[in-house]
Structure 1
């Protein structure tokens, strides 16, 4: 991918409503395909699953790397945007647990794209920025529990993020999604009081 392609991927003008719907469908289908098949997923199959032609996919994402990068960015954004919604609709412990499960699902999809992401996301500042966004989401989830003595004092959002990253790696290595859920339960015992 050239610098120009990366700039194009990040600085696009707003889309018409129908084009935005097509892009959303493409990103959704791509996220599913990459989680299931890894970066080798067929772009033709992704376009078909999204209900659009492969030409539409390539007009929006001229390379598979740009599609993978867009999926990754969208999934990070969704994960971060979920935190305020969860804290507004669930008790603190349940909101945190639900977000942790979403995080593991995100990491599973990311691991399916790991080889391609290693090529696309080479900027350390970008990685640090993503980590900061995710830690901010966790801090947002911890805050209501701190105010009600549900969250243990001194719990650091970065530490929780690193623990979740470790859980996702262990569960992926064992290829056991249920292991991640059990480990999340153990992590929650260290984060919340009840």
Structure 2
């Protein structure tokens, strides 16, 4: 891909992430084009349908989450990842709103990174040995949805995470 095309694609994704985070999945691609400073045709050349644009945003966000998880480690890595994910969930509504969009490769990367954080936490004794990655992912998704749709404040987030961490520790 030409460098100007790559720049346009990046600007479109940045703008789309901002627009959809602010207005939800119902936001228009025209608003994305305006914010990105490109013509609507440029948006459609890169992303022929709105669903493809939404999938690209989700894939990029999941890749960032996987990268964040992979950069953490040790006894508190899983807890740190939960805290960061919940704190970002309300600001990045798109992730929750786009749950129906399928991006298996990105989800696999996130599963692997969270699985490694779980293994390290178990090795450090901060998480029970019987906890498995599917339970951790279910808790993460649930608490992020609660943060987005429940209008949680920081105090409620902290209390909710404390309950989850206590349950994981046994």
State the TM-score, normalized to the length of structure 2.
0.78
Stretches of structure 1 that go unaligned for 5 or more consecutive residues are 1-14
In 2, Cα distance between the equivalents of 1:52 and 1:142? Answer: 43
Report if the CA contact (8 A) 1:96-1:141 is conserved: yes
Mark the CA change 1:48 to 1:92 in structure 2 (over 3 Å): closer, same or farther.
farther
Report if the CA contact (8 A) 1:43-1:54 is conserved: yes
Q: How many pairs does the alignment contain?
A: 166
1:22-67 residue CA offsets vs partner (Å, 9 max, x unmatched): 2122112212221221122122221232233322211101221211
1:49-95 residue CA offsets vs partner (Å, 9 max, x unmatched): 223332221110122121111111222222122221123xxx531x3
For residues 123-162 of structure 1, what are the structure 2 equivalents within 5 Å? 132-162=108-138
Structure ranking higher in helix proportion: 1
DSSP-derived class of the 1:150 partner = coil
- Equivalent of 2:10, from 4, 10, 24? 24
Report if the CA contact (8 A) 2:63-2:110 is conserved: no
Stretches of structure 2 that go unaligned for 5 or more consecutive residues are none
Report if the CA contact (8 A) 1:164-1:184 is conserved: no
DSSP-derived class of the 1:40 partner = coil
- RMSD after superposition: 2.8
Q: Which residue of the partner structure matches residue 3 of structure 1? A: none
In 1, Cα distance between the equivalents of 2:152 and 2:98? Answer: 18
Mark the CA change 1:21 to 1:185 in structure 2 (over 3 Å): closer, same or farther.
farther
DSSP-derived class of the 1:52 partner = coil
In 2, Cα distance between the equivalents of 1:183 and 1:35? Answer: 23
DSSP-derived class of the 2:127 partner = coil
1:113-171 residue CA offsets vs partner (Å, 9 max, x unmatched): 45xx4xx54xxxx66x7655433221111222233333333221211111122223333
State the TM-score, normalized to the length of structure 1.
0.69
Q: Which residue of the partner structure matches residue 164 of structure 2? A: 187
